[in-house]
Amino acid sequence: MSNTVSSPGVLSGRLPVSKVNENFSDLHEPFRSHEASVAADRCYFCYDAPCITACPTAIDIPLFIRQIQTNTIDAAAKTIFEQNILGGMCARVCPTETLCEEACVREAAEGKPVEIGRLQRFATDSFMKSGAQPFLREASTGKKIAVIGAGPAGLACAHRLAMHGHDVIIYDAKEKAGGLNEFGIAAYKSTDEFAAKEVEWLLEIGGIDLQLGFELGKNIHLNELVKQFDSVFLGLGLGAVNNLKVSGDDLENVSDAVQFISGLRQADDLTSLRVGREVLVIGGGMTAVDAAVQSKLLGAETVTIAYRRSKDKMGASTYEQELATSNGVVIRENLKPKTIIGNGKVSSVEFERTKQTSEGLTPTGEAIMITADQVFVAIGQALSVNEERLEFAGNKINVSGSGRTSCNGVWAGGDCVSGGEDLTVTAVAQGRDAAEDINLSLMG
């Protein structure tokens, strides 16, 4: 151990390797066969199951749980993959506590839902480890589709199109495929390089060519793609990060949380990552929680999340907030950043206390100082592409139906489109549905 946790400044090696490895182990241990059987037995197998309605991909949850109960695990996995080809990752990162499990009848009756997420992981992991593919590719149609973005929406769209026999080229700007699943998820939610393994498994269906290092608006352009391909799907995600726009936001050790999480996910040695003794995260969404918790797991002594509204308005779910506080993170509400203070390096941040009134969020004039030697900004992301042929709603692409844009022959889905929930599972559903609509449009 090169430094103790109480050492001042932003340092690497705050904790020994053994402790860091322990901290970043699986957030939820996978079920063993017996545990999965016991968990499946708790399901009521409701006829009009509310859990299905609550699932953005509409997986037949009672059916796959019944299949686990009867020890037909491969059938359970196929039931999941029919609706969600990224069911393995979604089982790890989905906020099931606010989706299917919150709707579970057991939750309403007993306050303890069926553990749907862990059961889904049990089935999908078992199937994927066998190396099998759940679906066969249909005969080639001769149609070519370009998919821009190798994140959840793009991958789901590409896989469904390949199933229908179309040839797909996925273009992605990064050096690795996976999008948010690879670069933006907390490391303890997706261990053992699962995101990369899932992409490799998904591509084995055939008919999908992955091209990395291609960014829309730079070395590929929508006008050219529309001419070259029969259809185009945009699963761009949100590449730009919103700036704090306060004095001092350019000080050393002030950075965006997305970059921190991405660097952490790609690091070979987590102990090499630099983290402060007093870390401050500004924001209230999942990214803020992921950055805060991981800072604590890397050895930060104090970690604070400061959010401009009340806790009940935070984008992070109650479960995620409790995960943060259980790891020693302090959440402070109704604080709006005014100035970042420091002499070259950040030393503290001045906030103004806010309150909710009939006129909206209102500053009170009361100043609050929070000391920090490292600040992460997590106040949302924005679309980094501006194509003239597309219609926008706010800073996102406007779509109708199953992802049709204003540009003929172009569909879009995932975080880049308006009206979404910025969830992996929602992106998968939109990519899948767009693929079905593209297939219908091409084949009649």
Query: Is residue 179 located within the same domain as residue 169?
Result: yes
Give the C-alpha separation, 326 to 318, whole Å. Answer: 12
Q: What are the tens digits of pLDDT across the range 10-60?
A: 999 999 999 999 999 999 999 999 999 999 999 999 999 999 999 999 999
Q: What are the tens digits of pLDDT across the range 383-405?
A: 988 888 899 988 899 999 999 99
CB–CB of 276/372 below 8 Å?
yes
Place of tokens 């949302």: 380
Query: Is residue 348 located within the same domain as residue 398?
Result: no
- Which of the four pLDDT bands, split at 50, 70 and 90, describes residue 2? very low
CB environment 153-175: b (16+ within 10 A), e (fewer) = bbbbbbbbbbbbbbbbbbbbbbe
80, 102, 129: which is the final residue of a domain? 129
Query: Is residue 246 located within the same domain as residue 322?
Result: yes
Q: What are the tens digits of pLDDT across the range 86-144?
A: 999 999 999 999 999 999 999 999 999 999 999 999 999 999 999 999 999 999 999 99
% the chain with pLDDT above 90? 92
Query: Is residue 40 located within the same domain as residue 114?
Result: yes
The DSSP code for 247 is B
Q: Residue 91 is part of which domain span?
A: 33-129
The structure tokens listed for 164 are 């229908």
Query: Has residue 139 been placed in a domain?
Result: no
Strand partners, 153: none
Number of domains comprising the chain: 3
Query: Is residue 210 located within the same domain as residue 264?
Result: no
Query: Has residue 332 been placed in a domain?
Result: yes
- Segments of 173-319 assigned E as strands: 208-212, 231-234, 240-241, 254-256, 278-282, 302-306
CB–CB of 404/437 below 8 Å?
yes
Query: Has residue 13 been placed in a domain?
Result: no
Query: Is residue 116 located within the same domain as residue 150?
Result: no
User: What CATH number did the domain enclosing 254 receive?
Assistant: 3.50.50.60
Query: Is residue 251 located within the same domain as residue 375?
Result: yes
Query: Is residue 216 located within the same domain as residue 158?
Result: yes
Give the C-alpha separation, 438 to 444, whole Å. Answer: 10
3-state secondary structure 334-380: CEEEEEEEEECEEEEEEEEEEEEECCEEEEEEEEEEEECCEEEECCC
The residues, any chain, with a CB within 8 Å of residue 403's CB and separated by 6 or more, are 233, 411, 412, 413, 417, 430, 433, 434, 437
Strands 381-382 and 240-241: antiparallel
- Which of the four pLDDT bands, split at 50, 70 and 90, describes residue 7? confident
Strands 231-234 and 144-148: parallel
